[in-house]
Amino acid sequence: MKNYIDLIDGYKDQMLEDLKKAIAIKSVAGEAEGDSPFGKGVQAAFDNMLELGEREGFATKNVDNYGGHIEFKGEGDGIFALIGHLDVVPEGSGWEHDPYGGEIIGDKMFGRGTIDDKGPTMAAFYAMKALKDSGFKPRKDIRLILGLDEETDWKGMNYYMEHEETPDSGFAPDADFPVIHCEKGLIVFDVVKRLNNTNKSGLRLISFEGGNAPNMVADRAKIVITGGDISDKIEEYKKNSKHDIVCEKVGDTLEITAKGISAHGAMPEEGLNAITILFEAIKDIEFNNSEVNTFVKFYNDTIGFDYHGERFGCGFEDEPSGKLNFNVGKFKLNESEARLTINIRYPATMQEDDIYNGMDTIVGPMGYSIERLDHLAPLYVPKDHALVKVLMDVYQEFTGDMKSEPLVIGGATYARTVPNSVAFGPVFPGEAAVEHQADEYISISGMVKATKIFAEAIYRLTK
């Protein structure tokens, strides 16, 4: 065998070229288009990655365009999985770099998907390539599974798993080093209030809309009102709060726009929610609809800038995974309905119904309804599990970091879809969390180092 670690340094330029091409494809999952279940952008990203696999001499498989894999055939039975995804969240606003440009400045490549998860998936692919090119003969098949709707509802991965043999174990290169041994449970739901408003006189809130996706901190929001001018009150709030708010008269309406800071929904404290900014800005405004006023008060009294559901009946925590994470991802209000989309990451020792029962004590008495949209059960692998120990050993040998411990995250990775699997890399301790944010980037030196760590881990787990 050649030294597969040394080979990786020689792949750097080609790896970056391949990643830049992948970043150029806007692969935000959407409605089905023809034979593309998640839209043409996701399909193009999928086709591109399968072509890379074929270029390097790997076997590939497309499972009805719902997902697929690139495979390094082994000499025995069993499958070791690397589980990545090619879809991305919407780019949002506030970028200084082209979100689909793959621009390189210094040690950083910028673009949506660079760190979540096209860059790490590419690193896993090149780790496989290094092992293959070295002459390594794995004991079991090594399969890079390509997910296509990780940022939405996982229908593609569920379809793939229903039609393919289940791997024995694996890791998802879609989080942090040293290793993630616990992922909190995830729920997404809407809080809905039907509104009645036949009164067309006075100060009317015509619309209030903000956010891009449930698992993103809303970086934008806009209110449209008519029947009065509250710009002086908004300007006073802006002055006191220092938030970025703009008032603009458009015809006989007043548009109030707030800019926040995007962040991953699992870490809402890393961002600034524009929806919450506007709710706070109008908390003392009296509109002509009492139901709207009640909803504004409800939001400010029970949510506000809380990050752990403290006032929403779900401020839970446990010893393995810490506090619950609470994110308002989207909001839409018109004169007939208010709909609030919330994303929660709950402690690993709790059940889905525990969370809903807690929230019902707050929402139920208001007469609002909760519509459940999505749920992922927690993942918990003990720190002394053989897989965790191997991955920790490899990480420590390559970094010399003997202090960092296995981690708990609020994020949900595809590690949950494969037995005996965890998330592993690529973000190193101390590096900024930039996934789902404007000017998302990957460290180039970090990507190369992660590729080496992935290769060594795969080798040890499949030799």
What's the start-to-end Cα distance of the chain, in Å?
A: 13
Q: Are 315 and 359 in contact (CB under 8 A)?
A: no
Picking from 79, 29, 21, the residue whose alpha carbon sits closest to that of residue 51 is 21
Both tokens of 164, joined, read: 């393919």
Catalytic residue among 18, 71, 87, 219: 87
Distance, CA of 463 to CA of 391 (rounded, Å): 15
Q: Are 171 and 180 in contact (CB under 8 A)?
A: no
Determine the residue type at 134: S
150 catalytic residue (yes or no): yes
Backbone angles phi, psi at 28, to 5 degrees: -85, 120
Distance, CA of 440 to CA of 73 (rounded, Å): 34
Backbone angles phi, psi at 122, to 5 degrees: -65, -40
Picking from 228, 242, 271, the residue whose alpha carbon sits closest to that of residue 89 is 271
Distance, CA of 442 to CA of 436 (rounded, Å): 12
What does each C-alpha distance from 51 to 32, 56, 460 come to in angstroms?
A: 22, 9, 28
Q: Are 183 and 409 in contact (CB under 8 A)?
A: yes
Buried b (16+ CB within 10 A) or exposed e, 284-306: ebebbbeebbbbbebbbebbbeb
Catalytic residue among 150, 176, 190, 280: 150
Residues known to be catalytic: 87, 150
